[in-house]
Amino acid sequence: MESDKSILQSPLTRKLSAFVALSRTDLETLARYHRRRRTFQSGHQMIHEGQRNQSAFILAEGWACAFKLLPDGERQIVDFQIPGDFLGLRSILFRTADHSIEAVTRIEASEVLAPEIFDSFSDAPRLATAVLWAASRDEAMVVEHLVNLGRRSAEVRMAHFLLELSARLHLVGIGDRSGYECPLTQYHLADALGLSAVHVNRVLRHLREEGLVTFQNGRVKIDDLDGLVSLANFDVAYLDQAGPFIQ
């Protein structure tokens, strides 16, 4: 089981603590969630669409992506998961996975069985509320992603996406206002933003030439935060994350 110190410092605890002050009972429950640690290599598909009786995972290290695979082989990435995120929580509630999840990098994750989650909520109702908040926050992000795909220009959707990642990483103590490490390729960005890889390259070059953001060698460097926020019309409120990120 994780030590008290490591639980307090875990990305999930940092994330949930942004919503409620976790009690000792809550922290003990989170520690039990982390008993079953697993490692997955890049490219491993952790959850398959249509899979039943699926476990959930808590991502501790690395990145993953959630996607839908179309009959013609095309892939639409619907979200990226970072440390502190639950993977497959909705699949537990639905009993059948409605999407697939793949490791983008080598990841460390804790496997949590459905009974462990349901049983723990009766003992730690405040933790259950915090997990519901996290799930609602994920739903709010999906709404923004739909707006990205349907109504925003390529440059605006890229700016908005990079800022969202920055805010999410900032919350769990990874990266800061100046930038963050990012393992995503232009093909990942293309699949997530509904663009071609060539168009992604063109958009990133233009944002760099405008002095707003530079994405090179696995790092996003935010050169002009205010300018990028203005371009994207980015309002961090949908992340329920009022704080120092854009203040």
pLDDT tens per residue, range 120-148: 888 888 998 998 899 899 989 989 998 98
What whole-number distance in Å separates Cα of residue 151 and Cα of residue 134?
26
Higher pLDDT, 212 or 115: 212
pLDDT at 160 over 50: yes
| pLDDT score of 4 | 53
Domains delineated in the chain: 4-136 (2.60.120.10), 152-239 (1.10.10.10)
Mean per-residue pLDDT of the chain: 90
Q: Give the model confidence (pLDDT) of 30-86 as tens digits.
A: 888 888 999 999 999 999 988 887 789 999 999 999 999 888 888 899 999 999 999
| pLDDT score of 8 | 73
Higher pLDDT, 201 or 241: 201
Highest mean pLDDT (candidates 6-15, 27-36, 171-180, 205-214): 205-214
| pLDDT score of 200 | 97
**How would you class 213 by CB atoms within 10 Å of its CB: exposed for 0-12, middle for 13-18, buried for 19 or more?**
buried
pTM of the predicted model as reported, rounded to 2 decimal places: 0.91
| pLDDT score of 245 | 54
Task: Give 114's pLDDT tier (boundaries 50, 70, 90).
Answer: confident
